[in-house]
Structure formats: C-alpha cells, structure tokens
Chain A
C-alpha cells in the first residue's frame, strides 16, 4: 500500500494544485462581470455572493472546473443514458469524428515515416537530400498550410475524412522519421560485422537486426506522433468550417462565446490524447518485455 501512495501521492498533489489555481483564476477573471451586473442592479455583493456568482456564470471568461465537468457529463454520459450517444450534441460523436481522422492520419504518418527512414538509412542520396526537407516541412505553421491542403484536396474531389487525416499525417510522420532513422542505425559496428561474417543479405540484416533493434525508438516516436496526430485532426477541422469533430466544437464555441463548451472540448481532447498515448505505452511495455528490451 505504501508503494501505491508513493506513486499516487505526487499526482494527487499536482491535481489539487491545478484545481486550486483554476478556481482562483475563475473567481479573479469572472469577478469583473459579476461586479458589473451588481452595479447595474444597484446592489453590493458580499465576498461569498461574489464567489458564488463567478463560479456559476453562463458565459464566464474562465469556466470553473465543476461547470466544465457538468457540461462534459451532459454531453457524454447523459447522452448515453438517453440513448443518443451519437447525436450531434454529444461529445462522444464529435470525439469519434476526430478520433477516426486522428487514427487514419496516424497510420498514414507512421507508414510514411518508416518508409522515409528506411530510404534514408539505405539510400545515400536520400540520406543527403531528404532530411532537410523533412525538417523544413515542420517549420511551416500547420495553421497556415492546413486550409491549403483542404482546398487543394477538395479541388481534386477528395473531401471528408481524408483531408483531415492528411494534416494529421503531415504532423505525425516527422517524429517517426527521426526516431526510426536513429533506431535503424542503432545496431553497432560489431553487430553489422557479425552479419557480414554470416554473409547475410541486406534484407536479412534489415528484418533480423535493424528492425528489431529499432523497436524502442519506434514506440517513443509513436507516442509523440499520436499526440501530434490528434492536434493535426483538430486543426484540420478549424478552417473548413466543419460541423463535426472536437475542432468544430471549439470553433462553434468561440463563435457564440460558449466558453464552457470550448473548455469541455479541450478537456475531452486532452483526455483522448492521454488515452491514446497510454494505449501505445501499454503496447510498448508488452512488446519490449517480450523482446527482452524493457527498460
């Protein structure tokens, strides 16, 4: 039990600290509006009245955690109870839209990343020429290039899931390339010499030595790629005026000043990212343990 508290203790402390700061911030930021209202109604607010008001406004500058919690419950759990989990007002529906393009983009980005890494490791010309472009691609602000990707793809008749997935791919292939180049090059000179003494072919060297050696690097990259992929999917939903997805919820919320809706979409996105990265972490643990490479 001591070990449990040893692990959980620091996490709980941080969570409590965040909540305290959050509530304090909510009171501070929302009090101006509360005072304004009171002034117009010609009443003076006591401190407790002020606090109560700041934590229960309809369009607060900073919604309080419980308001966000209630909104998330209203748009997820309650919808499930009502049997309308996939209605347009349900965050589950919007999360699913974003998740599907995240996963598609992640898969495409991983495939592209590994393919480029293999090219870079095995082809001298690619080694010299591709990496600068890969790095350059990440220096372009995604917000600037996302609308263009959507417009261009729309012009050639591709719309819906794929354009958003392409933006996810654009962000997620980068960590995979960088990690896999390092991973595929991780076997030492001795291991490569050893392969040579057995007169192994290039393909054998790849499948039996380089690829297994790169696994720890791959999983670390995949975690970063997954988070980047989700960001890409959300950003992809912003410029299109998409009607569905967590990005669309953020956009709609900001149009109508629905700060509670914005925050609940943000928290959901963060939880989704944490869950996805967590799943990769679990797979990583299992695979590396099976491979005798667990740290």
Chain B
C-alpha cells in the first residue's frame, strides 16, 4: 500500500490577542491509498485545521506534510484533491449542472468532457436528471450530494470532507453515509473525513483518528476491523460497538487532562 498523505511532527500555532493557540502539535500520521480516514474529536481539537493543512488552506508552522509525495501547496496546484465543506456552498445563480461544471471551467476542461463528467458524477451521487435544476429547488441533503458531485467532477484521487453532513438531520445523514460508502467502493478514492459523530466515524472508516484539544493532537489511531461491505445494521454488531467504545475511551482520555 502506498502512502498518499504523510504528516511528520506537524504543528500549527495561531497567534491571537490572547496569546498563541496550538491548533496542532507534533502530529504524525500516514494515510494510505484507498483509506477512509475519519478525524474525530471535540471542537478545538484541530481536526478541521489538520484537514485544511492537507488542503494547503492553512500553512503549518513546523513539521512536514506531503500529499501524493509532494508538498501540500504543489498538490493543491495540481488539483490533487476535491474538498467538501460543511455547507454545500452551491452558487444560487448556477444550475446543479452549472455548479458541477464550475471547477471544470476553471481548470479549462473542454465542453464535451464537462457534459460527460456532469452526467457521471450526478449518477454517482444519485442525482440523475437534476442538472437543470437550481440549488433552491433541492433539499439540504440533495444540495450536499451535489456539492460532493462537484468535488468528484475533476477526478482527483483524494476527497477531503469537513463535516459534510453536520448540518443535516439524522435520517438524511444515515442515508448519505450509506451512499458515501457505496461511492467510495466504486471510485477507490482516498477519503479524509472530519466528524464529531462517533457512529458516523465508526460506520464509515477504515481508520479512525481520535484527536483532543489544547494543544490539538492525536490521542489514538484505530484501524477498523469491520468488513468493507457495511449494511446500516452493522451498527448493532458487537464488533461495531467495541470500536465505538474504543473511540469514546480515546475521547475521554483526551479530556482527562483538562
């Protein structure tokens, strides 16, 4: 298995008026090709910051990060990853198809390929036939699926997702989790997924990174023993509950030094 993302002694300190904030401190992690890695922890633990460092949206103050063997900045410029934000952030003046086409237009992809990609990714997120609709005509869950489709459109190998389902209700969330696993199986992407839901992290991931705040650091990395095929009711299996338990313990350990 080849390493896609590698962080070595990564630290990021924000200078604020109340003194320095250690968002990340000495973080080490390797993510392999095809992994589904979840980052879980309470707010302020640096999970989103870590994801943003991978995406070159933040610059680390110490340590090293490589994405696809090059620096995060080079990887971003090579459009190595698709990034899904917590809010769909679709442009209201563009149709769903137009929104998915947006990164392709920016990257100078020709019109015929654009059309083909739009159809492909809409099929992947089960939104066939919605390309002419406007965002306001879609529900929140559908909008988030469209935003995932947009992140997939330019065929990056890595998908970084920052609490993509955080603003959605439980039922929609379950449904989208199932679809996301299906999508992951079909596309073989490497996925980095930030969440604060334990069941979501355990259900989705091959690797769960438990983080804790002040300073933001990794307290545990759990390799999931669950099979790749995961029906929703796997969440009632003893194996699932055991992993969830370990995640909870990791979170509690992080809080113990408060």
Contacts and interface: CB of A to CB of B under 8 A. Distances in A.
A158 B97 CA distance: 52
A290 B107 CA distance: 26
A49 interface: no
Interface in A183-207: 190-191, 193-200, 204
A198 B57 contact: no
A196 B135 CA distance: 22
B175 to A, nearest CB: 24
A204 B57 contact: no
B83 A194 contact: yes
Nearest to A195: B106
Given A190-B85, A193-B57, A193-B85, A198 B107 contact: yes
A194 B89 contact: yes
A198 B93 contact: no
Contacts of B91: 209, 212
B55 interface: yes
A292 B79 contact: no
Contact of A197 (B57, B105, B134, B135): B57
B87 A208 contact: no
B81 interface: yes
A189 to B, nearest CB: 10
A199 B55 contact: no
A190 B91 CA distance: 12
A293 interface: yes
A4 B87 CA distance: 40
Interface residues of B, number: 26
A291 interface: yes
Interface in B93-124: 93, 102-103, 105-107
Interface string B43-68: 00000000010011100000000000
A197 B147 CA distance: 14
B89 A212 contact: no
Contact of B76 (A190, A196, A209, A291): A196
Given A208-B102, A208-B106, A292-B134, A197 B89 contact: no
Nearest to A193: B57
A292 B93 CA distance: 5
B92 A191 contact: no
B134 A194 contact: no
Nearest to B86: A190
B14 interface: no
B77 interface: yes
Contacts of B55: 197
Contact of A190 (B89, B105, B135, B136): B89
Contacts of A209: 91
Contacts of B92: 291-293
Contacts of B86: 190
A198 B89 contact: no
A196 B57 contact: yes
A199 B105 contact: no
Contacts of B76: 196-197, 199
B81 A198 contact: no
Contact of B106 (A191, A198, A293): A198
A208 B81 CA distance: 21
A167 B86 CA distance: 48
Most chain B beta-carbon neighbours within 10 Å: one of A193, A195, A212:
A193
A198 B134 contact: no
Contacts of A215: 93
B93 A208 contact: no
A26 B55 CA distance: 73
A212 B91 CA distance: 9
A191 B77 CA distance: 17
Nearest to A197: B83
Nearest to A200: B106
Contact of A208 (B89, B105, B136): B105
A290 B93 CA distance: 7
Nearest to B104: A198
7 contacts: A193-B57, A194-B85, A197-B76, A208-B102, A290-B93, A292-B92, A293-B93
Q: Which 3 A-B residue pairs are closest in the complex by CB-CB distance? A: A291-B93, A292-B92, A197-B83
